[in-house]
Amino acid sequence: MSLNYIKNPNEIYQRSFEIVQKEADLSRFDTEEAKVAIRIIHASGMPEIGNDLKFSPTVIKEVLTAISRNAKIICDCNMVTSGISISNDSNLRAHCFLNHPSVLSIAKNEQTTRSAAQVTLWREHQAGAIIVIGNAPTALFRIIEEIESGAPMPAAVLGFPVGFVGAAESKEALAKTTLKIPHITLLGRRGGSAIAAAALNALIRISIEQDTE
């Protein structure tokens, strides 16, 4: 049996983004924010999540500047790291500390998750870094706490943890922090590694487009 479906990758790509732009309300975003929103919506398959996307005022500029100087990218899980598209000739590097030998002992001593425990190890790397969280609310809560306690300010936090316990609350905390952390987040329970990676991939693509203009 032969099923009828689109096989041409270019056509799939083009039609996918045409559908997103048709079905999603992008009117409240500026040009660059809309490009990021489209990628996030495409990664999720849910046009309606555009209503819950939040961009802090300077985040696009901060991330593009960080990308231009090859800032470190710090991810909360390996799935986010794997989803980030970095060309072979780029000096950008994505790092995940979840499997660092010290993480388990830190988690036991602090009676917290491994995802939160690893944030302790981010401190010496996070100044001007791009932090991408696509899995663990505890990691997002912890990085906010760390910054409030005097840890270096990252270039931006892309906060997309997913789940029923703490996800909505951690993203609300990021959006309402008085520290003015540059951020992109998706309010509510929805999120995930694919969405987090898509957000950064969109910004990397914008950076490449600017370099070729």
The distance from CA 95 to its chain's CA centroid, rounded to whole angstroms, is: 13
Catalytic residue (choose from 42, 95, 100, 183): 42
Both structure tokens of 104: 């388990």
Two tokens at 30? 């500026």
* 34, amino acid identity: A
- Dihedral angle over CA of 71, 75, 79, 85, nearest 10: -10
Residue 42 catalytic? Answer: yes
In terms of Cβ atoms closer than 10 Å to its own Cβ (0-12, 13-18, 19+), residue 54 is: middle
Query: What would the two tokens of residue 155 be?
Result: 């270039």
Give catalytic residues, as residue numbers: 42
